[in-house]
Amino acid sequence: MSLADLRREYRNHVLTDHDAAADPIAQFRLWFDEALQAESLEANAMTLATVSPAGDPAARTVLLKGFDDDGFVFFTNYESAKGAALTARPRACLLFFWRELERQVRITGDVSRVSREESAEYFGSRPRESQIGAWVSPQSRPIPHRGVLEENYESLTAQYEGGPVPVPPFWGGYRVAPGLVEFWQGRPSRLHDRLLYTRTPTGWTRVRLAP
């Protein structure tokens, strides 16, 4: 089968103007809950798109760890490639794709670091192995071989044995404050539903986009 022949019809759901929430965070919460109920694989996985200091676009998958009216939060190494990109250009786009529900959500907005208290609270909830892993990896930097990571892991495991693992100073959270939120629902004949919410000084506006 050729790539040109790979296609499917989307028939499972609709997104009407009548049923959509007036607030995109409320609509996201509804869809996210339905993705969890549908047992979507890694329902909180999202593509994070940034622009590097040199102007090159980049995208990678990260995990959503919280959201509310203020924005969408994820955690990472501040000294990573995405950290450098967000320092230079603190804007990003997030994309969720829930295959089982034939849905996408695209979020664009300004990015800021969360407080150290919020980062510490989340770090404390992580499995101990992940806490140590945050210290081990010089994320996005070249390493000579995998053994370096394994040696560092063993060394730090011994160093922190019997006590808490502190939060690395180079690790923490980012919050994407949404300015645009688009909900995409697959429909038959490629006549998909697309609702775009835009934040204004007086609240959210919503328009329907052609597919």
Could you tell me the CATH number of the domain that includes residue 164?
Answer: 2.30.110.10
- Reported as a single tens digit per residue, the pLDDT across 47-103 is 999 999 899 999 999 999 999 999 999 999 999 999 999 999 999 999 999 999 999
Q: Is residue 1 in some structural domain?
A: no
Q: Is residue 137 in some structural domain?
A: yes
Give how many domains the chain has, as a whole number. Answer: 1
149 to each of 13, 66, 129, 131, 144, how far by Cα in Å? 45, 29, 13, 14, 10
Q: Is residue 45 in some structural domain?
A: yes
Handedness of CA 141, 63, 86, 136 (dihedral sign): negative
Q: What pLDDT, on a 0 to 100 scale, did the predictor assign at position 191?
A: 93
At residue 24, does pLDDT exceed 90? Answer: yes
pLDDT-based confidence at residue 35 (cuts at 50, 70, 90): very high
Q: What pLDDT, on a 0 to 100 scale, did the predictor assign at position 2?
A: 80
Q: What pLDDT, on a 0 to 100 scale, did the predictor assign at position 8?
A: 72
Find the angle CA(155)-CA(157)-CA(160) to the nearest 5 degrees: 105
Alpha helix ranges (H) inside the chain? 24-37, 81-88, 116-125, 128-136, 147-159
Q: Is residue 3 in some structural domain?
A: no
Q: Is residue 168 in some structural domain?
A: yes
Of the residues 116, 128, 141, 190, only one is catalytic, namely 190
Mean pLDDT of 30-52: 96
Q: Is residue 2 in some structural domain?
A: no
Q: Is residue 4 in some structural domain?
A: no
Give the separation between CA 47 and CA 94, rounded to whole angstroms.
5
Handedness of CA 32, 38, 41, 47 (dihedral sign): negative
User: Which residues, in sequence order, are CB contacts of 32 under 8 Å at separation 6+?
Assistant: 43, 44, 67, 96
At residue 174, does pLDDT exceed 80? Answer: yes
Q: What pLDDT, on a 0 to 100 scale, did the predictor assign at position 10?
A: 75
Q: What pLDDT, on a 0 to 100 scale, did the predictor assign at position 94?
A: 98
Mean pLDDT of 5-19: 82
190 belongs to the catalytic site = yes
pLDDT-based confidence at residue 177 (cuts at 50, 70, 90): very high
Mean pLDDT of 176-195: 96
Mean pLDDT of 195-204: 97
- Reported as a single tens digit per residue, the pLDDT across 99-132 is 999 999 999 999 999 999 999 999 999 999 999 9
Q: What pLDDT, on a 0 to 100 scale, did the predictor assign at position 203?
A: 96
Q: Is residue 32 in some structural domain?
A: yes
Give the domain extent around 13.
Answer: 9-208
At residue 23, does pLDDT exceed 90? Answer: yes
- 53 DSSP assignment: T
Mean predicted lDDT score pLDDT of the chain: 95
Q: What pLDDT, on a 0 to 100 scale, did the predictor assign at position 4?
A: 74
At residue 160, does pLDDT exceed 80? Answer: yes
- 68 DSSP assignment: E
